């Protein structure tokens, strides 16, 4: 059976600015989708690139005092060098200054011209000599060009026009009969509403006497092509239009990805251009919203432009990829903040996924000599297997429909199910009980298998992390069962006997500065209370008791008594606790404990402890003293006050 061909494209970015968060988002989405489609079994091609002609670029080059050619080479290289930092694996990086592109643009112009859909006519507009372009009324401030502070001249210029209006009804019919042509639906409605008014024809040339940085019209070399008529055609050039084998293979599967700012050129100019050139329309247009920064528009003048290279340096590539896909509901605007990235990293990645991985692997290491154990064939644990199937089904649907945040939500529901599975089954208790060896093996096998499935579905989103997980599980990333969901999406493919490989933390926690707390009154010196003595209510109120979630636990070197705990309360803290004789580190991770949060920090074995864990004194089964942690329901969020 032949595989479905999918061709995903990003906008080609103007080289008048350096890559920023918005460009990075579109390109990460396209990369993730292309990897997802491969996982689904499609034959995929992925293209990105740069848009290098037109007024804007000439202006930007002039500002830098260099020739356009040198300028575009420099900035295009900046884009090209940024994408590997984000683990973007495109098949072609296209530039509108590429020779093959120039040839295809000229070919299409000629075809449309020969078909009678390009005509010569007069154009009147407000021309600013300083800007060397026509301005529209909206751009003027008090009737003047805001940059040059002069009133633009009314100019009548002869130009070439594309008969776009001729295709209006055909386009409306196509959108109506193909509900998925423009998605999400809000943008489809926006396009239909725009098309409810008569469409004007499109001016597609600029006199070369005024702008010569462009592609000459094949039928009149005194003119260059308008930048949009040039840029949109990149989608055809990149797959070898008109007669390359890739064109016939991939074009029917073309899916364009853009943000809402360029909806009109993609949903109106482009399909009508294709109609006029006698080429089938693309399959889908996916439109996303805008990233704002701390609730304000990202802009150079506000100094809040977020650079992808900085994000990777600060947080790591996979944290950024995960964050951007999880945080933005595709189609709506989203707000970027450093706190939000850190919160996602610490909660979803370091805590939920990272701990599941390290806890499971360290238990297999400890109890099964670092090899995947053989499960008991009769012992099925249906609930976990059902949760895995539900995750795969939902993931496939949501990711395929560009609802990445919901796809990831489904994955994290399974992560939570696997973490609960550890808490319910208490492998450490099974290990203590000699009778329970078969059950222990089944539980640990199921955890390894859950992690294998997670690595598989996370491949498109966090390719580096998924590979690390596979290596940790002793699976080669090239192995057959890790290539597609069809091959690897079934339960039970982990091989007993596979040796694990030691992997460091998947996601280090990122420290947040503790939020400023209201100053709490100190307990008076003379109230070091003995049991039975009374205290004032105010004294009790001064003790800040909180629920903390343990997210990391390890033995303190050279101490039999102490454990170093990393907790969220909700901010990250380190607490040293004398419970090593009563609890193994892996029993604690993921568990809620009660802490005294405003105890003066104290140094224990060289580690600063920021609080104290409360325990009850009890006895173990042999009658020996044991500290027991009071149970706090897992539904209480870290930081919940005890009152
Ligand atoms: O329009 N949030 O190029 P461009 C999200 N060359 N995405 C954003 C964004 C933001 N704040 N800012 C930019 C052009 N983007 C043309 C395209 S295609 C044939 C020609 C992303 O450099 C988003 O994908 O202005 C948007 O559509 C694109 O960058 C615009 O890039």
pLDDT in tens, 59-72: 999 999 999 999 99
Q: Would you say residue 460 has pLDDT above 90? A: yes
Q: Range with the lowest mean pLDDT among 52-61, 82-91, 223-232, 239-248?
A: 52-61
Per-residue pLDDT band for 634 (boundaries 50, 70, 90) equals confident
Mean pLDDT of 300-307: 87
Q: Would you say residue 514 has pLDDT above 80? A: no
CA distance 57 to 67: 10
Residue 261 CA: nearest ligand 1 atom is 27
CB-count burial class (<10 Å; 0-12, 13-18, 19+) for 637? exposed
Mean pLDDT of 73-92: 97
pLDDT of residue 517: 37
Per-residue pLDDT band for 521 (boundaries 50, 70, 90) equals very low
User: Nearest Cα to 266, choosing from 462, 26, 435?
Assistant: 26
> CA 355 → CA 279, 326, 420, 556, 596, distances in Å?
52, 19, 12, 19, 24
Q: Would you say residue 518 has pLDDT above 90? A: no
Q: Would you say residue 520 has pLDDT above 70? A: no
Edge-to-edge strands, sheet with 43-51 = 92-95, 43-51, 5-14, 254-259, 284-288, 182-183
CATH superfamily, domain 516-628, is Nucleic acid-binding proteins (2.40.50.140)
Q: Does the active-site annotation cover 249?
A: no
Rounded to the nearest angstrom, the distance between the alpha carbon of 524 and the centre of ligand 1 is 61
Return the axis-axis angle of helices 317-327 and 21-40, rounded to nearest 10°.
Answer: 90
Catalytic residue among 4, 153, 222, 297: 297
User: Nearest Cα to 125, choosing from 194, 221, 200, 199?
Assistant: 200
Domain 344-488 -> CATH class: mainly alpha
Number of Cβ within a 10 Å radius of residue 245: 9
Residue 262 CA: nearest ligand 1 atom is 27
Question: Which contiguous run of DSSP H or E holds residue 271?
Answer: helix 270-276
CA distance 16 to 605: 56
CA distance 195 to 277: 21
Per-residue pLDDT band for 77 (boundaries 50, 70, 90) equals very high
Q: Does the active-site annotation cover 23?
A: yes
Catalytic residue among 145, 459, 468, 564: 145
> CA 1 → CA 4, 41, 42, distances in Å?
9, 11, 11
pLDDT in tens, 606-625: 888 999 999 988 877 777 78
On whether the CB atoms of residues 506 and 473 are closer than 8 A, the answer is no
With a pLDDT cut of 90, the percent of the chain lying above it is 75
Residue 38 gets the label, from left (phi > 0), alpha (psi -120 to 50) or beta, of: alpha
Q: What mean pLDDT, rounded, does the chain reach? A: 92
CA distance 79 to 599: 50
On whether the CB atoms of residues 286 and 37 are closer than 8 A, the answer is no
Per-residue pLDDT band for 527 (boundaries 50, 70, 90) equals very low
With a pLDDT cut of 70, the percent of the chain lying above it is 95
Mean pLDDT of 546-571: 88
Residue ranges of alpha helices (H) inside 55-166 are 55-64, 68-82, 99-114
On whether the CB atoms of residues 154 and 124 are closer than 8 A, the answer is yes
Question: Reduced to 3 DSSP states, what percent helix, strand and coil does the chain have, rounded to the nearest 5?
Answer: 45, 20, 35
Q: Does the active-site annotation cover 256?
A: no
pLDDT in tens, 166-175: 999 999 999 9
pLDDT in tens, 565-581: 988 888 888 999 999 98
Mean pLDDT of 299-321: 92
- Residue with the larger pLDDT of the pair 536 and 273: 273
Q: Would you say residue 523 has pLDDT above 80? A: no
Mean pLDDT of 326-339: 97
Q: Would you say residue 334 has pLDDT above 60? A: yes
pLDDT in tens, 386-435: 999 999 999 999 999 999 999 999 999 999 999 999 999 999 999 999 89
Same fold, 344-488 and 516-628: no
Q: Would you say residue 526 has pLDDT above 60? A: no
Rounded to the nearest angstrom, the distance between the alpha carbon of 259 and the centre of ligand 1 is 6
On whether the CB atoms of residues 474 and 499 are closer than 8 A, the answer is yes
Residue 234 CA: nearest ligand 1 atom is 19
pLDDT of residue 438: 94
Q: Would you say residue 133 has pLDDT above 60? A: yes
Per-residue pLDDT band for 529 (boundaries 50, 70, 90) equals very low
With H, G, I as helix, E, B as strand and everything else as coil, classify residue 4.
coil
186-204 CB burial, b ≥16 within 10 A, e <16: ebbebbeeebeeebeebbb
pLDDT of residue 530: 39
User: Nearest Cα to 94, choosing from 299, 273, 232?
Assistant: 232
195: tokens are 């098309």
Angle at 92 between CA 299 and CA 187, to 5 degrees: 50
pLDDT of residue 516: 37
With H, G, I as helix, E, B as strand and everything else as coil, classify residue 339.
helix
Q: Range with the lowest mean pLDDT among 223-232, 432-441, 497-506, 537-546?
A: 537-546
Per-residue pLDDT band for 102 (boundaries 50, 70, 90) equals very high
590: tokens are 């993921």
Q: Does the active-site annotation cover 37?
A: no
Question: Which contiguous run of DSSP H or E holds residue 613?
Answer: strand 612-613
CA distance 146 to 149: 5
Tell the residue nearest (CA) to atom 23 of ligand 1.
Answer: 259
pLDDT of residue 533: 59
Per-residue pLDDT band for 380 (boundaries 50, 70, 90) equals confident
Query: 52 φ, ψ to 5°?
Result: -120, 0
Q: Range with the lowest mean pLDDT among 149-153, 172-176, 319-323, 484-488?
A: 149-153
pLDDT of residue 132: 59
Catalytic residue among 37, 128, 368, 392: 128
CATH of domain 5-288: 3.40.50.620
Q: Would you say residue 229 has pLDDT above 60? A: yes
Cβ(290) to ligand 1 under 6 A? yes
Q: Range with the lowest mean pLDDT among 97-106, 262-271, 502-511?
A: 502-511
Q: Where are the domains of the chain?
A: 5-288, 344-488, 516-628
Cβ(235) to ligand 1 under 6 A? no
Tell the residue nearest (CA) to atom 19 of ligand 1.
Answer: 232
pLDDT of residue 400: 98
pTM of the model: 0.81
Pocket test for ligand 1, best of 259, 265, 293, 333 (most atoms within 8 A of CB): 259
pLDDT of residue 623: 72
Q: Of the spans 140-149, 395-404, 567-576, 595-604, which averages the highest pLDDT?
A: 395-404
147: tokens are 């940059």
């Amino acid at each position: 059976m032949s595989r479905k061909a999918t061709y995903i494209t990003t906008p080609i970015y103007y080289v008048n600015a350096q890559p920023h968060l918005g460009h990075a988002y579109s390109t990460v989405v396209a990369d993730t989708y292309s990897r997802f489609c491969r996982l689904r079994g499609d034959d995929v091609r992925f293209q990105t690139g740069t848009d290098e002609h037109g007024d804007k670029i000439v202006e930007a080059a002039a500002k830098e005092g260099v020739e356009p050619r040198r300028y575009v080479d420099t900035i295009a290289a900046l884009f090209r060098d940024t994408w590997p930092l984000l683990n973007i694996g495109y098949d072609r990086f296209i530039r509108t200054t590429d020779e093959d592109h120039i040839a295809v643009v000229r070919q299409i112009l000629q075809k449309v011209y020969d078909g009678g859909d390009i005509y010569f006519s007069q154009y009147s507009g407000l021309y600013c000599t300083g800007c060397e372009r026509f301005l529209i009324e909206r751009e003027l401030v008090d009737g003047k060009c805001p940059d040059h502070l002069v009133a633009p001249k009314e100019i009548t210029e002869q130009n070439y026009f594309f008969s776009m209006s001729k295709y209006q009804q055909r386009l409306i019919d196509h959108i109506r009969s193909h509900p998925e042509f423009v998605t999400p639906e809000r943008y489809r409605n926006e396009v239909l509403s725009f098309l409810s008014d008569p469409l004007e024809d499109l001016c597609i040339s600029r006199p070369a006497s005024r702008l010569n940085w462009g592609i000459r019209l094949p039928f009149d070399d005194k003119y260059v092509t308008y930048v949009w008529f040039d840029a949109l055609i990149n989608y055809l050039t990149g797959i070898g239009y008109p007669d390359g084998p890739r064109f016939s293979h991939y074009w029917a599967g073309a899916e364009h990805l853009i943000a809402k700012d360029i909806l009109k050129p993609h949903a109106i100019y482009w399909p009508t251009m294709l109609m006029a050139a006698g080429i089938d329309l693309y399959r889908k247009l996916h439109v996303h919203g805008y990233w704002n920064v701390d609730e304000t528009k990202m802009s150079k003048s506000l100094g809040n432009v977020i650079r992808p290279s900085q994000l990777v340096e600060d947080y790591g590539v996979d944290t950024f990829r995960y964050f951007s896909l999880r945080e933005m509901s595709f189609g709506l605007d989203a707000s970027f903040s450093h706190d939000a990235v850190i919160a996602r990293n610490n909660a979803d990645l370091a805590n939920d996924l990272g701990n599941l991985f390290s806890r499971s692997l360290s238990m297999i290491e400890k109890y099964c000599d670092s090899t995947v154990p053989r499960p008991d064939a009769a012992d099925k644990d249906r609930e976990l297997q059902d949760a895995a199937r539900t995750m795969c089904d939902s993931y496939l649907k949501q990711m395929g429909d560009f609802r990445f945040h919901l796809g990831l939500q489904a994955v994290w529901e399974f992560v939570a199910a696997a973490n609960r599975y550890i808490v319910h089954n208490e492998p450490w208790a099974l290990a203590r009980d000699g009778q329970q060896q078969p059950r222990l093996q089944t539980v640990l096998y199921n955890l390894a298998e859950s992690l294998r499935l997670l690595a598989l579905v996370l491949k498109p989103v966090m390719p580096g992390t998924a590979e690390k997980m596979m290596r940790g599980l002793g699976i080669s990333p090239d192995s057959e069962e890790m290539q597609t969901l069809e091959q690897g999406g079934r339960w039970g493919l982990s091989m007993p006997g596979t040796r694990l490989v030691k992997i460091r933390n998947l996601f280090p926690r990122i420290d947040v500065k503790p939020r400023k707390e209201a100053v709490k009154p100190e307990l008076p010196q003379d109230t070091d209370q003995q049991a039975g003595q009374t205290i004032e209510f105010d004294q009790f109120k001064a003790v800040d008791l909180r629920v903390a979630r343990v997210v990391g636990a390890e033995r303190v070197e050279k101490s039999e008594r102490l454990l170093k705990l990393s907790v969220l309360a909700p901010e990250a803290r380190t607490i040293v606790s004398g419970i090593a004789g009563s609890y193994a580190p892996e029993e604690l991770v993921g568990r809620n404990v009660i802490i005294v949060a405003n105890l003066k920090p104290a140094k224990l074995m060289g580690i600063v402890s920021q609080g104290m864990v409360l325990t009850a004194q009890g006895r173990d089964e042999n009658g020996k003293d044991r500290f027991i942690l009071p149970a706090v329901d897992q539904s209480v969020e870290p930081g919940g006050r005890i009152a």
